[in-house]
Chains A and B, each alone.
Chain A
Amino acid sequence: MIFKLEYLEYFINTFIVILIYFSLKKSLTPSKLLLGTLFTFIITFLTASFVRTSELLDVILVIGISFFYKMSSEKNNNSAVLFMISSVYVTMINSMVYLITYIAVNFLTLPKEEILVWTGTGTCFFILFTIYEIETYRPVFRIFYPEYGYYNYKSGIITVMFTLICILSSSRFFFDYNQLQLSIIEFVIIGTISLVGYFNYIVIVNKESRDILLEQQKQESIFEKHVDDVKTYYQEILSFKHDYQNILQSLGVRILKTGDEDLIKYFNEITKFSGDVIDSNDLVKKIDVIKDVALQGIIFSEAIKAQKKGIDLKLSIPEEIDSMGSLQMTMTRIISILLDNAIEETEKISGKYIELGMISYGKQGLDIILRNKIGMENSDFERWFEAGYTTKGKGHGQGLAIVQKIVQEDNRLSMQISKNDDELSFIVRVENDC
């Protein structure tokens, strides 16, 4: 067997396919690398001596891998697809680099072998770059991942592409076209099929998100009903309290008429106590200006939680607050964390109240302001944002960090924290770009 540059090309091609395959599988270890090299040697040797075309071996490999993983009990057996992706990717890069090299060296009139060497080097560079940056480009590859049964069509597309390339490459033995023509054809075919595949993918993802949206709407209506029920109960309790107060007042007039001083004194004592109980604020009425059910629900339940601990949640919402739309879950999370923190903090000090304000800017967004008093031991504002700083026990004090993270990850949100003497204010701003 005489050494030819073509064999080197076989070797490099197979080797980089295996490299990409392992890095896509996240299992690129030295031992795997060694195994891969050995494997590549064998394949190259076989190809060079018997088959004379690497594509046939690729096909055999894919079938082998599929078979192996069908046999093994591993559930997530996308190895065959990953291998095909790697193969298609390498062919694509190969074709592209070939085209570029061809155009570049055309004017220099280099021999065919040299073009091959340059193509090999260029491809290697691309592949190494891909492997180095594989996590950045994973989403691109992921378009074709069959992660859910749903997207099985993706493996279909990959298979079609793979088969076409194999047929095309092998056909050069029967038809008389050169490497340049082959590269152009491969490039165009892979490009077209990728585009078609991508659009199909978008259609399916769209359908999936529509399904999710429908499910969410269903849940929201259930939740809405639930909040309504709770509000009705609360209202009933309030009206009962109101009736009770009326009864007490008329009873008071009667008792006053009797002139029995002992009785009057006793009665006054009792009514003073129940007066405090009855004098609850009209939370339900105030909360009704919030039109977002989830937000309303969370504030309502936090208010009741606070009330149980003897803390008054004062609302200052001068105008109607619209539905939060896609930010609903995020905002509910932020508000519940901030309110929980505030309740925990306020519990420890006297003069117990928390103020929650909301200002709507219509479609442009919303400001949410939370203000509460803080105890002395927590007054060292500067230290709060040091990693791991908390005055509470283990597992507490993560809230602020979580809120910060949520806000930083969403472009529509921003936050302001300020301390004024013993008062702490949080402002969360929602800015819709419109």
Chain B
Amino acid sequence: MLEIIIVEDNVEQREFLREMISRYVSFEELDAKITLDTASPDEVMEYLKENNNGNPHLYFLDLEIAGEKVSGFKLASTLRENNPFDEIVFITGHQDLSLLAFEYRVKPLDYIIKENWDNVLASVRKDIKLTLKSIEKRNIVDTKIFVYKIRNQYFNIPINEIYYFESVINKPNAVIMRAKNQIVEFRGSLKKIEEYQKKDFFRCHKGYLVNLNKIASFDMNLGEVYFNSEKTIKCLVSTRKSRDIVKILKKF
């Protein structure tokens, strides 16, 4: 069951939200329930400590709790750190605010601007449905993902979006991941990744670990593998590994 938690310091608005959500949930017979509505972030933390039952959560958080912007951010960051799979939706009165830091740190499902209450309710309903759907999806589909850690946060990416991993000169404990539309540096070593991902990845060079599924072509003379037809994404292959990679690619 999905537990819905509302944090909003304006009593009137909170009651209204609770009323509308519970009516919606019971009308649509959704597997969800409002388990807590409160004005205080501390109460949320206490509730979570006491009710650690493994249920997924959906939070509706007011960003400006008790006039202080920080507490909303702190609460959301802590929630995210504690459970990476819970969904968080921000509700804010400020239309023109940049929420970049929130988006990045908390990865909210949505943020809703309190302007037109009809729109707010529509968004709330949409978010509940989305959350339920993603829970369902999580239980069924098991796509291969790669998990990496930056600070204390875990990030994941489907393996079929990764082109290759690269070691970093001067930094023995760092790895750069080159993936579709992104380049990320994190702490780790090619050797460890290679150990865990033996099936899909191949160490074709001292400094590179390539995703075999993503290789488009291989130039033996130049000693380079390419990951797209324009040959713009590429990495080096050592002479020693050239023959191995030809063999492996033939099998693939």
Measured CB to CB, the residues of B under 8 A from A are: 69-70, 73-74, 96-105, 150-151, 168-171, 174, 181-186, 228, 230, 232-233
Contacts of B174 on A, CB cut-off 8 Å?
411, 414
CA distance A415 to B103 in the complex (A): 18
A105 within 8 A of partner (CB): no
Measured CB to CB, the residues of A under 8 A from B are: 281, 314-319, 355-359, 361, 364-365, 367, 369, 371, 381-383, 385-386, 407-409, 411, 414-420, 427, 429, 431
| Interface residue from A318, A417, A431 paired with B151 (Cβ < 8 Å) | A431
CA distance A185 to B241 in the complex (A): 52
Say yes or no: B104 contacts A318, CB within 8 Å. no
| Interface residue from B70, B100, B168, B170 paired with A316 (Cβ < 8 Å) | B100
Say yes or no: A418 contacts B181, CB within 8 Å. yes
Knowing A319-B73, A415-B185, say if A357 contacts B170 (CB, 8 Å): no
20 contacts across the A-B interface (CB closer than 8 A) = A281-B96, A314-B97, A316-B101, A318-B70, A318-B73, A318-B101, A319-B70, A356-B100, A357-B104, A359-B101, A367-B104, A369-B100, A386-B232, A408-B168, A408-B169, A408-B170, A414-B185, A414-B186, A416-B182, A418-B182
Contacts of A419 on B, CB cut-off 8 Å?
181-182
CA distance A359 to B102 in the complex (A): 9
Q: Interface residues of A: mostly helix, strand, loop or mixed?
A: strand
Name the distance in Å between A415's Cβ and chain B's nearest Cβ. 6
Knowing A316-B100, A369-B104, A408-B169, say if A364 contacts B151 (CB, 8 Å): yes
Say yes or no: B104 contacts A317, CB within 8 Å. no
Contacts of B230 on A, CB cut-off 8 Å?
382
Say yes or no: B101 contacts A416, CB within 8 Å. no
With A318-B69, A369-B101 given, name 8 new contacts (CB 8 A): A316-B98, A356-B98, A357-B103, A367-B105, A414-B185, A416-B182, A418-B183, A429-B151
CA distance A394 to B181 in the complex (A): 26
Say yes or no: B182 contacts A417, CB within 8 Å. yes
Contacts of A416 on B, CB cut-off 8 Å?
182-185
CA distance A417 to B100 in the complex (A): 15
Name the distance in Å between A306's Cβ and chain B's nearest Cβ. 13
- The 10 A-B pairs with the shortest beta carbon distances in the complex, nearest first, are A314-B98, A357-B100, A418-B182, A357-B101, A414-B185, A318-B73, A316-B100, A316-B98, A316-B101, A355-B100
| Interface residue from A318, A356, A420, A427 paired with B102 (Cβ < 8 Å) | A318
CA distance A355 to B70 in the complex (A): 19
CA distance A416 to B69 in the complex (A): 27
CA distance A357 to B97 in the complex (A): 11
CA distance A365 to B153 in the complex (A): 14
Name the distance in Å between A221's Cβ and chain B's nearest Cβ. 29
Contacts of B98 on A, CB cut-off 8 Å?
314-316, 355-357
Contacts of B170 on A, CB cut-off 8 Å?
408-409, 411
Knowing A316-B99, A319-B70, A414-B174, say if A359 contacts B150 (CB, 8 Å): no
Name the distance in Å between B1's Cβ and chain A's nearest Cβ. 32
Contacts of B150 on A, CB cut-off 8 Å?
429
CA distance A371 to B168 in the complex (A): 25
CA distance A355 to B151 in the complex (A): 23
Contacts of A358 on B, CB cut-off 8 Å?
101
CA distance A183 to B169 in the complex (A): 41
CA distance A431 to B152 in the complex (A): 12
Q: Which residue of B lies closest to A428 (CB)?
A: B185
CA distance A369 to B104 in the complex (A): 8
Name the distance in Å between A412's Cβ and chain B's nearest Cβ. 10
Contacts of B73 on A, CB cut-off 8 Å?
318-319
Q: Which residue of A lies closest to B105 (CB)?
A: A359
CA distance A414 to B151 in the complex (A): 12
CA distance A361 to B104 in the complex (A): 14
Contacts of A316 on B, CB cut-off 8 Å?
97-102
CA distance A314 to B98 in the complex (A): 6
Say yes or no: B101 contacts A317, CB within 8 Å. yes
Knowing A414-B185, A419-B181, say if A361 contacts B151 (CB, 8 Å): yes
CA distance A382 to B96 in the complex (A): 32
Contacts of A414 on B, CB cut-off 8 Å?
174, 185-186
Name the distance in Å between B230's Cβ and chain A's nearest Cβ. 8
Q: Which residue of A lies closest to B227 (CB)?
A: A382
Q: Which residue of B lies closest to A382 (CB)?
A: B232
CA distance A382 to B99 in the complex (A): 27
Say yes or no: A411 contacts B171, CB within 8 Å. yes
Contacts of A365 on B, CB cut-off 8 Å?
151
Knowing A357-B98, A411-B171, say if A427 contacts B70 (CB, 8 Å): no
Say yes or no: B100 contacts A371, CB within 8 Å. yes
Contacts of A281 on B, CB cut-off 8 Å?
96
